[in-house]
Each structure stands twice: as structure tokens, then as C-alpha cells.
Amino acid sequence: MKKIKYSLRSSSFVRMLRTNPLFAIGVAICAAWLVVMVFADLIAPCDPLLQDMAVRLQPPSAQHWFGTDSLGRDIFSRVLVGSRISIGAGIQCILIAAVVGMLIGGLSGYVGGILDDIIMRIGELFTSFPSIILAMVIASAMGASLFNTLLTMCIVWWPNYARVMRAMVIQVKSNEYVEASRSLGASRLRIFFKEILPNSIGSIIVLATVDFGNAILLFASLSYMGLGSPPPAPEWGAMVSNGAEQFSYWWVATFPGLAILSVSLGANFIGDGVRDYLDPKLRKTIS
């Protein structure tokens, strides 16, 4: 293994799995959840919506692995099926917020001047409110639906990405290689996407993976207040808040909580790995 020289890009993924154990763990966790998301219906032993008051608040047993909640629903099945809503919402929210924030922040930092001031003041307007309250206001103004909730979360979240991106771009754009590209005749757009973006995207990716858990939680809080997915649907955040009311029945909140934890942990590990991969200086090389 030591002497083999990898030159193909496809094999660098394999190499990363080998050299970076945390990345491998992250990939394993996220891959497992991906499988669960796709095949949730087949794996789940019970109907996640089926209520059976006879077995309400049962502790974990051979029949109900994660126990049952206050309406007698099988928590294991709900956690599995709920992955679709929760992980899906988290991914969409973070992706949209990161891309939008990155472009706006990049523009702000790259162009500078008055435009920079205006964009940053607007961003501060959004961040000056607690995100949950702002999200509630926007969501209730636009009406409660899954799409609106996602949109709301993006509106609340983009300034974080814009600020990080702006700071990175301002730092990166003063580098001489940006000037070199300009002296070669590259257009501003090309300089932004070819020189500046690749050198500033690392922090965004790390921030996005760290935020992934937060996004699931914010979505959960909104769902809890009836602004996200409607109540009967299995959704991790709503399940956790539901369980928090019945604290003596520890399993109700613990298992969806562990699900959130494992997903955000996996995302964090992958984020760190990708960041290292994008930066050739941090990339581990086999010689």
C-alpha cells in the first residue's frame, strides 16, 4: 500500500477512507441513514402512525425495540420513517442557505464598497432577532406548509454563511494569485469561481456540517409549534419535544435524540474530511 501511487481522482476517495478514520466513520453513518431513508417502509416493523392505547408508554422490549410513545406508537418505526422528513429537511435547508449565503456573501466581499455595506446591514437585520422567533413570524405570515418552513429557515440562516463567506473572500482576494489571474485577462466571474471560491469554500463546508444538526433542531422546533410537518407525521424534533414532556419515560425522547446526534456527528466527520481534501496542504499523501 505504501508504494502504490494514486493518480486517479476516483481513488482519492478510497485513500481518504483509509487514511482518515473519522471520515470513514462519518461516511458509514451517513450511508446507513441514507439506506434507512430509502427503505424505511420495508425496514420498519410497524406502521409509524398506528396508535394502540393498550401498549402506550411501554419501555423498550423485544417487540418494540425503542418502546412506545404516549399514543402507543412504535418509536423504532417512527425514528426510521422520520429520517425522511428530518434529514431531508435538514439537507435542503442547509444546502439552500449555504449556496444562497455563499453567493451573496461572496458578492459582498468581492465587490465591496457600498454594496457590501448594504448587504451586510440586511444580513444583520435578520441575525439580530432570535432565529426561532423570526422563523415563526415569517412562517405564520406565509402560512404553514413544509415548503414555507424550509424557505423560512433559509431566510433565517443565510446571513451566517454570507458573513463567513464574505470574510473569507476579503482575505482570499488580496492574494497575488488573484491578481495574476487578472493580469492574464480573466473575467471577474471567472476569477470568483476559479480562484476565490475554491479557496474560501472550506469554512463554508465545515459550517454547513456543524449547522446540519441545528437545522434539524430548528425544523423540529417549528414542527412542534405546528409550523413544520403536521403532528401525526413522524418527525424527530417533534418526537423529542413530545418525550421531554414525559420525562420519566426516558426512551420516548432518547431514541429520536440519538438519531439526531448520530446524523449530525456523521455530517461533521464528513465535513472535516472534505475540508481537508479540498485543501491540498492538509491532504495526507502517501509517498
Partner 1 sequence: MSRQAAEQAAAGTQRPEEQKWMQVSGLKKYFPAAGSTIFNRRYVKAVDDVSFDIRQGETLGLVGESGCGKSTLGRTLIRLYQPTAGEILFDGKDLGSLGGREMKDMRRRMQFIFQDPSASLNPRKTVRDILMEPYRIHNVGTEKEREERARFLMDRVGLESYYFSRYPHEMSGGQKQRVGIARALALRPELIVCDEAVSALDVSIQAQVINLLEELQEEFSLTYLFISHNLSIVHHISDRVAVMYLGKIVEIGPHDAIYERPAHPYSQALIAAIPSGDRREDRERILLTGDVPSPVNPPAGCRFHTRCQRCGAICRQETPPLREVEKDHFAACHFVGGSAAADPEQQITASAEK
Rule CB under 8 A: say whether 185 interacts with partner 1: yes
Judge residue 52's burial from the number of C-beta atoms within 10 Å of its C-beta, 0-12 exposed, 13-18 middle, 19 or more buried. middle
Q: Which is nearer to partner 1, 7 or 248 (CB)?
A: 7
3-state secondary structure 98-165: HHHHHHHHHHHHHHCHHHHHHHHHHHHHHHCCCHHHHHHHHHHHHCCCHHHHHHHHHHHHHHHHHHHH
> Angle, nearest 10°, between helix axes 197-224 and 131-142?
70
Closer residue to partner 1 in complex, CB, 109/202: 202
Closest CB 283 distance from partner 1, rounded Å: 9
- For position 176 contacting partner 1 by CB under 8 A, the verdict is yes
The contact mask relative to partner 1 for 230-259 (x = CB under 8 A, - = no) is ------------------------------
Q: Does 276 bind partner 1 (CB under 8 A)?
A: no
Interface pick for partner 1 out of 49, 95, 186, 210 (rule CB under 8 A): 186
For helices 146-173 and 75-111, the axis angle rounded to 10 degrees is 40
Number of residues near partner 1 (by CB under 8 A): 22
Considering the complex, what minimum distance in angstroms separates the CB of residue 116 from partner 1? Answer: 15
Interatomic CA distance for residues 61 and 52, integer angstroms: 16
Chain residues in the site for partner 1 (CB under 8 A) = 7, 175-177, 179-187, 190, 194-195, 198-199, 278-281
